[in-house]
Chains A and B, each alone.
Chain A
Amino acid sequence: MTRDVVLLGDKTLSLLARHLNAELRQAGSAWNVIDAGYDSWLVAPLDPRSALFAKATAAWAFVLSPRVLENVPDILAQLDATLERLGSLSAPPTVLFSNLFADPLHAMPLANNLERHALAASVNERLLSFRETHSWFHVVDQLGLVLQHGIDALHDPRFEATAQVYYSPAGTRALAALWLRALRCLERPQKKVCVLDLDNTLWGGTLGEDGADGLQMSDSGPGLAYRRFQRALLELRRSGILLTLCSKNNRDEALAVLESHPDCLLRPADFAHLEISWDRKSQAITRTAQALGLGLDSLLFVDDSALERAEVARLLPEVDIFDFPDDPVRLVGALAAYPGFDTLRQTEEDRKRADAYLEEAQRNASRASATSAEDFYRSLELRLTIFSAAGEQAARLHQLLMKTNQFNLTAERLSAEEFRALLADPAYLVLGMRVADRFGDSGITGLALVDRRRPAAWIVQNFLLSCRVIGRTVENAFLAWIVGVAARAGAQSVAFRCLETPRNEVARNFLRSSGGVESAGSWKFDVRRPEALPQHFVSIDAAQVS
């Protein structure tokens, strides 16, 4: 099924629409680009008959040229009016808005361009602050594209004069590549793990041959390329991507470098999993995925050796292979060019994710020393907050719906627009769940879509939890709470839908052992028999359920 995205701009975007559609088809995307026509960005959002309001339209994309800074009187007021209009729509589409840059080719550039740049910066600031409060609004970094390639490479005044296009045909191709990445973010799951080699990947040189002192990763000279790459990897980690190691080395020697080499920025605690051995890399990567509870298709493998890359590509075709550059100075550029980690927005949970794996290791240590499972659960001091999804949290919950594979009863995905429609439907209870214990706050890690259209027989259309929080009776508590609230609302039963997928065995097993009765693809729980529900050791706060 295709989903339409309408392009709105101040210039003609038909060439962009054409190239973008060709790229989207080639990538197997469901997006279909429609051009709203020349100078449509101010008028079309006000016209209910425009393509924007057609049924198949799922997203609006504003692609503005720097000419708006010159041609639109009071651009800030116009922008505010447009944003206000977007904010007032009862069922807003997904909106992508390009940030702006000023074209410096003007009379007296030294004197006059500074204010032009400041105006562009004000526009961009307003876009960011609107994005802050509207989960369906995204900003696409057109400014970054222009800084990378330069206006001379992207713009050609001859084409602007003959065809009213700001971007030249070559520039349009580069712009289409950017918008392809942005639109793909909205329909495919982000990769979660960056699996890293050590020698000639995190540092220059080979530990076994050059020794720790001979490794290059210092702030100057040939080590700088590796140091900058390490810094970029730390940024990935802060943005929610897990780093793991996969190196053929003597474990103790490699760990000694990571622990104490003065030039090494990455430390052992930065990695969610370590594989340092002489085993085949395909085996080490398989163990990595298992240890993290993630599918192989969540992984990117980064290794300078073409041989190792070929081995992993052949035996583990689901794993993405990093296009390792010939020259290490291009490492950061190659990482920026890799689209698998693309996302238009980061949630608080993303930023916490890497630390969450450390907390989990502490939990496991505590589990090992507990005398019984019950003791262990009690010692965790688990706290569950259940809330009705709204506003800010909606983006995170939708992300969870799109990303969760294993503890997911149906693995049915909803587009952002479909998800927002459920939020607005009073017959549905869209519940989010936060988990914390004494080791840390895991953030928003659970979702249930409760269908109350038949008041006596509620149906949980989907129920899913992040793998990070299962196995601590949190799933039992969430299920029991839903059954309890159904009972209080006068329902007789709650049925949890369950569809078998190749990945969701853990969720199906949970449901099977939870005291319900199976019939026709769902498990039904009798609200009059709460004693049959599974035990939990969690305190629940549901004050924010409306």
Chain B
Amino acid sequence: MTVDESRFRECIIRSLRLRSGEYRPDLRIGDVEQWDSVAHLDVLSDLEKEFGVRFGLDDMATLTSLPELRNWLERTG
């Protein structure tokens, strides 16, 4: 599926409670203080809800950056 970038961005901003200017399309876990392994659970869960998808156990462990997540959605969703 083609991932609507603004929908993807809004979902990440909401999930991580990012302040304005903190979002970058190439963020990865640990780049901002809000995105640690705990917040990562919310990111995965919120993306699933937003895009109607379901990550497998392996995906949950390996998808740790926005480009990876975006690619996965495009490939799988």
Contact = CB atoms under 8 A, between A and B. Distances in A.
Check if A and B associate: yes
Interface of A: 14-15, 18, 22, 158-159, 161-163, 165, 168-170
A161 B41 contact: no
A15 B42 contact: yes
Tier of interface size on chain B: 10 to 19
Please report whether the interface of chain A is mostly helix, strand, loop or mixed according to DSSP: helix
Given A14-B38, A15-B38, A18-B39, A161 B45 contact: no
A320 B41 CA distance: 36
A18 B40 CA distance: 12
B57 A161 contact: yes
A14 B37 CA distance: 10
30 contacts: A14-B38, A15-B38, A15-B41, A15-B42, A18-B38, A18-B39, A22-B17, A158-B55, A158-B56, A158-B57, A158-B60, A159-B41, A159-B45, A161-B57, A162-B41, A162-B57, A162-B60, A162-B61, A163-B37, A163-B38, A163-B41, A165-B41, A168-B45, A169-B41, A169-B42, A169-B44, A169-B45, A169-B46, A170-B45, A170-B49
Contacts of A22: 17
B68 to A, nearest CB: 16
Interface in B24-77: 37-39, 41-42, 44-46, 49, 55-57, 60-61
Contacts of A162: 41, 57, 60-61
Please report whether the interface of chain B is mostly helix, strand, loop or mixed according to DSSP: helix
A161 B39 CA distance: 16
Contacts of B49: 170
A169 B44 CA distance: 9
Interface-centre pick from B45, B49, B56, B57 (highest chain A CB count, 10 A): B45
A18 B60 CA distance: 20
Q: List the 9 closest pairs (A to B, CB-CB), nearest first.
A: A169-B45, A14-B38, A169-B42, A169-B41, A162-B60, A15-B38, A158-B57, A163-B41, A15-B41
A15 B40 CA distance: 10
A161 B57 CA distance: 8
Interface-centre pick from B37, B41, B56, B60 (highest chain A CB count, 10 A): B41
Contacts of A161: 57
A14 B46 CA distance: 18
Nearest to A18: B38
Interface-centre pick from A158, A168, A169 (highest chain B CB count, 10 A): A169
Contacts of B38: 14-15, 18, 163
A170 B42 CA distance: 8
Contacts of A18: 38-39
Nearest to B59: A158
Contacts of A14: 38
